[in-house]
Amino acid sequence: MTLPLYHTHARPGDLVQLLSTSHRFFLVRLTPDAVLHTHKGVIQHNDLIGLPWGSQVYSHLGASFYLLRPSLADLLKETRRNTQIMFPKDIGFVLVSLSIGPGQTVLEAGTGSGALTTALAFAVGPQGRVISYERRGEMQRLARKNLRRVGLDDRVTFKLRDIALGFDETDVDALFLDVPNPEDYIAQARAALKTGGFFGSLVPTTNQVSRLVVALQEHHFAFIEVCEVLLRYYKPVPERLRPTDRMVAHTGYLIFARPVVPAPPPAEQETAVPPSSQP
Ligand SMILES: C[S@@+](CC[C@H](N)C(=O)[O-])C[C@H]1O[C@@H](n2cnc3c(N)ncnc32)[C@H](O)[C@@H]1O
């Protein structure tokens, strides 16, 4: 784990965020003698190393920035993308709904640009493992780069495969599908998951949700939930507190379910012989 979470001052090798007062930010890994070029002038890394988090720093043109530790949401926003990536609001709810935590083994497909992969790798910690399947080589390469940039690639195994061919793993704690037709891979997901594990998926339209729910029911998944996460920001002005003018109205529907042991067929009714009629 190379994210700077535990010490009080910025150190060489730390991934840092330089946030301008206009909320534009830069993510850089602190390297002695390196230079950051911004639209508002140049900042020397040497001037940042050793400063306490939250310090105000200035470019050579006098523009002001704050030196901060990037949040996981900041890292996700910075994901370089070739695909639609999952939004932090959905990712946050996925992490708690699938109960992702330290030391777990989690499967996902498709990797895409690796936004969800980043959050899963962050949550499973150094002892955990994320196994991420993708069928397109160029997507996998981009995701690898994104994970390396934030120092989390050593927790991820990337596999280049169409998941129609199945997963190599069994007994995983949780599995998430972000592909257009998750309903076609529920048998494969079921074979990879622990009984009683956590399944989740995201699809953008209700038609896809209906198809997925049918497939989950056919494969003995129970406790199926369908929801969406709506997030509205407010302008933080105490005397005129009100929502911002725009919001993201739709990203996708989230579907969660638990693979359970199939109920045995009802036992054949034995013809009960009343004790009084026995010899
Ligand atoms: C929407 S993107 C995933 C975005 C990702 N969750 C993120 O947050 O960056 C969907 C990805 O699934 C991949 N994909 C679609 N069908 C697949 C399949 N059958 N097997 C493996 N990958 C698949 C696509 O190539 C694409 O990269």
Instruction: Tell me what pLDDT residue 231 has.
Output: 97
pLDDT confidence tier of residue 1, bands split at 50, 70 and 90: very low
110: cis peptide before it, omega within 30°?
Answer: yes
The pTM for the full model equals: 0.91
Q: Please list, in sequence order, all residues whose beta carbon lies within 8 angstroms of the beta carbon of residue 170, skipping any fewer than 6 positions away.
A: 191, 192
pLDDT confidence tier of residue 272, bands split at 50, 70 and 90: low
Alpha helices per DSSP H over 194-263? 206-218
| H or E stretch at 219 | none
CA 110 to centroid of ligand 1, rounded, Å: 3
CA-to-CA distance for 87 and 251, rounded, in angstroms?
8
Q: Give the residues across from 256 on adjacent strands.
A: 200, 225
Q: Give the residues across from 159 on adjacent strands.
A: 133
Q: Tell me how crowded residue 205 is: count the other CB atoms within 10 A of its CB.
A: 12
Per-residue pLDDT of 35-85, as tens digits, reads: 999 888 999 999 999 999 999 999 999 999 999 999 999 999 989 998 899
CA-to-CA distance for 46 and 11, rounded, in angstroms?
10
Atom of ligand 1 nearest to the CA of 139: 27
Per-residue pLDDT of 217-248, as tens digits, reads: 999 999 999 999 999 999 999 999 999 999 99
Chain-centroid distance, C-alpha 254 = 13
Atom of ligand 1 nearest to the CA of 91: 8
Amino acid at 146: N
Domains belonging to the chain, first-starting first, are: 15-70 (3.10.330.20), 73-259 (3.40.50.150)
Instruction: Tell me what pLDDT residue 262 has.
Output: 86
Atom of ligand 1 nearest to the CA of 162: 20
**Mutation pick for ligand 1 pocket among 84, 179, 181 (CB with most ligand atoms within 8 Å):** 179
Above pLDDT 90, what percent of the chain? Answer: 86
Instruction: Tell me what pLDDT residue 5 has.
Output: 53
110 lines ligand 1 (CB under 6 A): yes
Instruction: Tell me what pLDDT residue 269 has.
Output: 55
Instruction: Tell me what pLDDT residue 46 has.
Output: 96
Instruction: Tell me what pLDDT residue 246 has.
Output: 95
**Mutation pick for ligand 1 pocket among 95, 135, 145, 160 (CB with most ligand atoms within 8 Å):** 135
Find out whether 200 and 178 touch, Cβ atoms under 8 Å.
Answer: no
CA 140 to centroid of ligand 1, rounded, Å: 10
CA distances from 64 to 25, 41, 111, 259 (A): 11, 10, 37, 53
133 lines ligand 1 (CB under 6 A): yes
Find out whether 24 and 36 touch, Cβ atoms under 8 Å.
Answer: no
Residue with tokens 């910690």: 125
CA 117 to centroid of ligand 1, rounded, Å: 11
CA angle 48, 39, 52 (to 5 degrees): 20
CA 4 to centroid of ligand 1, rounded, Å: 30
CA 136 to centroid of ligand 1, rounded, Å: 8
CA-to-CA distance for 109 and 163, rounded, in angstroms?
8
CA-to-CA distance for 256 and 68, rounded, in angstroms?
35
Residue 257 has pLDDT above 80, yes or no: yes
